[in-house]
Chains A and B, each alone.
Chain A
Amino acid sequence: MTFVAKPKVHHPNLPLNELGLTRRDYEGSVSTLCAGCGHDSVSAAIVQACAELSLPPHRFAKVSGIGCSSKTPSYFLNKSHGFNSVHGRMPSVMTGANLANRELLGIGVSGDGDSASIGLGQFAHIVRRRINMLYLVDNNGTYGLTKGQFSATNDKGSTSKKGAPNLYEPIDLVSMALQIGATFVARSFSGDKTQLVPLIKAALKHKGMAFIDVISPCVAFNNHNGSTKSYEFVREHTQELVNADLIMTHPEVTVDYAEGSREDVSMPDGSTLRLHKLDADYDAHDRVGALNYVQRSQEQGEVVTGLLYVDPDPVECHDIMDTVDQPLNELNEAQLCPGSAALADINASYR
């Protein structure tokens, strides 16, 4: 595998965003994942979301762990720094990156092996710390890079490519995220760009811990009959719940969306998050209700997708810690060092 430079030839008719940039300015290197991999669709959705929001493409911190999913930060936002860290430990690296510079937009990409097995502890603790970031899991229920072992999100009874059934209970990251403090929780499907792109946009605008679990089929090891994370299975069993659409205050990017009841949520940055309620009874501000709904649907074999919960008034880690507005990595010596004068008093206090 070698690094392949992508030709930067722009189609003359590519639309420009508010920054005068096209989607190409938000892309990454050529993917080395298998052809048809759901993860590539997720990367494309991130590209589209960032371009449509006109976010500066160099102001992200992309962090991942290890695995197929964790390779993907190479495949979007090439102008931003990326960090492919160690298995299951994206959350701690992202926590540090966020503490150092609260202004960068954090995108953490992880997988089901990365977040639900080796990194389950780190997943839980970054969620409860409420780091301001998008935490996105490419969830394919299998270990791709080591060729098809079950992961912890794999449903009990679903079979591996060789036909052996999974004997153990699955871990549902969405339920966990709801339970331990995420202020934005959604689930989507990599093949459903109309739903995924607005969710990513809303998550990026959310000031707090935004978690999206994206069912992303593995074409090589988990796309067969018997798998509950195949393209076919998910399409047949998806129950679409609430679509999120971010409507910017700028008129040119306003998009009208699907039918159904709507609710507008004011975002801290002045933009509006519009919820499309496909189920009349669903309340996306009810955390406990969301948890019940997800669990009940799961019992009925349904995959609930959409925006499951959003806290309209979220707090994030820097608020909790009460740190200065200026990024910590920009503070200079004069701001950081108490100097020799203060030390004289300190010495005296130890005599």
Chain B
Amino acid sequence: MQVKYNDFVIRFANVNGSGSASANGMFAKALFRMGIPVATRNIFPSNIQGLPTWFEVRVSEQGYLGRREGVDIMVAMNAETLVEDVASVSPGGYLLYDNSKPLAKTLRRDDVNEIGIPIATMMLPEFADPKQRSLFKNITYLGALAGLLNIEFDVITGMVATQYKGKDALIAPNIHALELGRNYALQYLQAPLPLQVRRSDAVGDRIMMDGNDAAGLGAVYGGATVCAWYPITPSTSVAESFENHANRLRVDETSGKKKFAIIQVEDELAAIGVVIGAAWNGARAFTATSGPGISLMSEFLGLAYFAEIPAVVWDIQRSGPSTGMPTRTQQGDLIGAAYASHGDTKHPLLFPATPKECFDFATAALDLADRAQTPILVMSDLELGMNDNLSEPLQWDDAVRYDRGKVLDSEALENSEVFGRYLDVDGDGIGYRTLPGTHPDKGAFFTRGTSRDEFAAYTESPEAYERNMQRLELKWQTIRGLVPAAEIDDQKRRVGVLFFGTTALPMPEALDLLHADGIALDSCRVRAFPFGAEVEAFVQEHDLIFVVEQNRDAQMRTLLINELQTAPAKLVPVLYYAGLSISADTIHQQINEYFTANKLSRISEVQS
């Protein structure tokens, strides 16, 4: 028997609200703890109970974390979706199902291996309570998978013990259910399968965390003291994470009081208003939202741009337009966020790709907002924010100080002759600001969304207005040098690929697949907007660049054309926007087809 190790996609089809998430999560965590790289994807409905939900685990010894097309093992536990679930199994794959009721003849496939386990029947004599029967079904199939795939059993039982610590009465029945499943597999099925897992050291010191959790923790580390938010999927867990971590890490030891304020407000308008008010008054403040929230915040974002007030907004993107598919991922808010609000307005964007980068960018965004005195939008998405991702461990350098930007304190004001809030003293377009209440006589000014002169006095003078707008443009140029630089692999090839955020996840695999087809590409992972000089050079120095993104209208491509005056013809869109995360296969296929259609030369041809 030819055994394939640590390389498959398993998908669990469940009904939401049935307690499957915990069992499925344990499956992924067990593999992770065996040192095997895994990537999890929760494909869930906008609903609390009763609708179909899927959980997908990509298992890859090579460390490929992007989504891969095709399902090798389907754990079909939802009768309602059985037809499509059976159809989605790759030829030669496995279908694990509850054969307490026989599988309909019409559903059977010759090219799929059926693994029937009478789970419901097995539960009857074991658990008296119908609710327990339903819950332990999930644990039973987890036990069966342990036997079928050769998962180290003590890793799973150890996790049960940790998970139910303090609720010891739950440990024994859970372990019993695990054993029921495993014993059935070993006794009645051909276990283990030719598709197996085995202990590896490919995970290294990496952690498994979701991006929203990392963002909330990062905001604690980055010194945020005010968080205002309004619940919206998939961003809610950013604020929840901030609160959870701050409740542990930000409490004054002597008084027991909180060194932070978090407030769930009445809507997204209020959320950004609170952030702007707090930042105006010198606190580091942030909010988290998704596309519809950005739409609502637009007026305030324009105010903060024009009045030059720091603010940090996390946009955990989901599928739009409008309510769209609120529990599906997308990178569709780029243009809306970059140019949010009326008039000549633009905002820096950061594009994290991993939980560690969410953690790092939380501080980077707060620093940048203070330094540039403008709103910073961090463009994560559901894929990164709500799924457990393998990530480098989080790091913090205790020597690094927060960058609070140009703020004049009382002493500085005392020693200054002239204070003009919007005077460009340093020639970088960024003025010096003062915080309310700093000095008895100096430094007070009036912040407004109306036009004003260098001394913050209201004016409708055409010259003063134009000077101000030009200074804001100069500041924009300064920001280009302040944002995180792109990660570039430039081997001086003629063709490159540009991507950002979660599109980075499938990219190593896509590049390997392309290379096997004789296509070698330079790569540029953009990490911020406005684009730095390194992105501009990358775009200029390549004849052709594939721009890979997860939206219909190629929004990153539009930003590149708009901001770098790039010839549109040399930027080829590679798009996926159907709500799942983009797969390596999609990228591979689209770029390969372009090469074929346009008769572009491949490596072997060049070399020969």
A and B from one complex: yes
A residues near B (Cβ < 8 Å) are 1-3, 56-61, 63, 73-74, 78-86, 89, 91-101, 103-104, 121-122, 124-125, 129, 318, 321-325, 328-329, 331, 333, 335-340, 342-343, 346-347, 350-351
Nearest B residue (CB) for A321: B261
Stretch at the interface among B391-399, B549-557, B565-573: B391-399
Q: In this assembly, does B87 line the interface, its C-beta being within 8 Å of a C-beta of chain A?
A: no
* CB<8 Å pairs between A and B, sample of 12: A3-B453, A58-B441, A60-B437, A86-B303, A86-B449, A91-B270, A96-B280, A97-B281, A99-B274, A101-B437, A324-B259, A329-B282
A335–B436 alpha-carbon span in the complex (Å): 22
The answer to whether A1 and B225 touch across the interface, beta carbons within 8 angstroms, is no
The answer to whether B258 and A350 touch across the interface, beta carbons within 8 angstroms, is no
The answer to whether B258 and A321 touch across the interface, beta carbons within 8 angstroms, is yes
A209–B249 alpha-carbon span in the complex (Å): 30
Q: Which A residues are in CB contact (< 8 Å) with B263?
A: 95, 99, 129, 321
Which B265-281 residues have C-beta < 8 A from chain A? 265-267, 269-281
The answer to whether A333 and B223 touch across the interface, beta carbons within 8 angstroms, is yes
The answer to whether B225 and A97 touch across the interface, beta carbons within 8 angstroms, is no
Q: Which A residues are in CB contact (< 8 Å) with B300?
A: 86, 89
Nearest B residue (CB) for A74: B446
Q: Mark interface residues in B570-585 (1 if CB within 8 Å of A CB, else 0).
A: 0000000000000000
The answer to whether B267 and A121 touch across the interface, beta carbons within 8 angstroms, is yes
Expressed in whole angstroms, the minimum distance between the Cβ of A100 and any Cβ of chain B is: 4
A310–B555 alpha-carbon span in the complex (Å): 55
Interface size on B, residues (CB 8 A): 74
For the complex of A and B, list the 6 residue pairs with the smallest distance between their C-beta atoms, beginning with the closest: A96-B277, A92-B273, A100-B283, A96-B278, A329-B282, A93-B277
Expressed in whole angstroms, the minimum distance between the Cβ of B40 and any Cβ of chain A is: 13
Q: Which A residues are in CB contact (< 8 Å) with B270?
A: 89, 91-92, 95, 121-122, 125
The answer to whether B439 and A324 touch across the interface, beta carbons within 8 angstroms, is no
Q: In this assembly, does B89 line the interface, its C-beta being within 8 Å of a C-beta of chain A?
A: no
Contact residue among B32, B282, B396 (Cβ-Cβ distance under 8 Å from A100): B282
The answer to whether A85 and B396 touch across the interface, beta carbons within 8 angstroms, is no
Q: Which A residues are in CB contact (< 8 Å) with B285?
A: 96, 100
The answer to whether B281 and A79 touch across the interface, beta carbons within 8 angstroms, is no
Q: Which B residues are in CB contact (< 8 Å) with A338?
A: 220-221, 249-250
Contact residue among A85, A322, A351 (Cβ-Cβ distance under 8 Å from B258): A322
The answer to whether B441 and A347 touch across the interface, beta carbons within 8 angstroms, is no
The answer to whether B225 and A96 touch across the interface, beta carbons within 8 angstroms, is no
Expressed in whole angstroms, the minimum distance between the Cβ of A80 and any Cβ of chain B is: 6
Which B338-358 residues have C-beta < 8 A from chain A? none
A94–B276 alpha-carbon span in the complex (Å): 9
Q: Which B residues are in CB contact (< 8 Å) with A333?
A: 223, 401-402
A59–B457 alpha-carbon span in the complex (Å): 20
The answer to whether A79 and B274 touch across the interface, beta carbons within 8 angstroms, is no
A56–B439 alpha-carbon span in the complex (Å): 10
Q: Which B residues are in CB contact (< 8 Å) with A322?
A: 257-258
A81–B402 alpha-carbon span in the complex (Å): 25
A79–B434 alpha-carbon span in the complex (Å): 12
Expressed in whole angstroms, the minimum distance between the Cβ of B284 and any Cβ of chain A is: 8
A81–B261 alpha-carbon span in the complex (Å): 22
The answer to whether A61 and B437 touch across the interface, beta carbons within 8 angstroms, is yes
Q: Mark interface residues in B457-484 (1 if CB within 8 Å of A CB, else 0).
A: 1111000000000000000000000000
Contact residue among A60, A78, A85, A104 (Cβ-Cβ distance under 8 Å from B303): A85
Expressed in whole angstroms, the minimum distance between the Cβ of A70 and any Cβ of chain B is: 10
The answer to whether A328 and B283 touch across the interface, beta carbons within 8 angstroms, is yes
Expressed in whole angstroms, the minimum distance between the Cβ of B461 and any Cβ of chain A is: 8
Q: Which B residues are in CB contact (< 8 Å) with A122?
A: 266, 269-270, 273
The answer to whether B437 and A340 touch across the interface, beta carbons within 8 angstroms, is no
Q: Which B residues are in CB contact (< 8 Å) with A63?
A: 277
A129–B220 alpha-carbon span in the complex (Å): 24
Expressed in whole angstroms, the minimum distance between the Cβ of A344 and any Cβ of chain B is: 9
Q: Which B residues are in CB contact (< 8 Å) with A82?
A: 444-447
Q: In this assembly, does B430 line the interface, its C-beta being within 8 Å of a C-beta of chain A?
A: no
Tell me whether A343 and B395 are in contact in the complex, defined as CB-CB below 8 angstroms, given that A96-B279, A328-B226, A333-B402 are known contacts: yes
Contact residue among B221, B225, B273, B275 (Cβ-Cβ distance under 8 Å from A85): B273
Q: Which B residues are in CB contact (< 8 Å) with A73?
A: 446
A333–B222 alpha-carbon span in the complex (Å): 9
Q: Mark interface residues in B284-302 (1 if CB within 8 Å of A CB, else 0).
A: 0100000000000001100
Q: Which A residues are in CB contact (< 8 Å) with B520?
A: none
Q: In this assembly, does B101 line the interface, its C-beta being within 8 Å of a C-beta of chain A?
A: no
A331–B266 alpha-carbon span in the complex (Å): 27
Nearest A residue (CB) for B458: A3
Contact residue among A94, A103, A335 (Cβ-Cβ distance under 8 Å from B277): A94
The answer to whether B259 and A331 touch across the interface, beta carbons within 8 angstroms, is yes
Expressed in whole angstroms, the minimum distance between the Cβ of B561 and any Cβ of chain A is: 32
Q: Mark interface residues in B424-445 (1 if CB within 8 Å of A CB, else 0).
A: 0000000000111111110011
Given A92-B269, A129-B263: 7 more A-B contacts, CB < 8 Å: A81-B446, A85-B276, A89-B270, A100-B285, A323-B260, A325-B257, A338-B249
Q: In this assembly, does B217 line the interface, its C-beta being within 8 Å of a C-beta of chain A?
A: yes
The answer to whether B283 and A99 touch across the interface, beta carbons within 8 angstroms, is yes
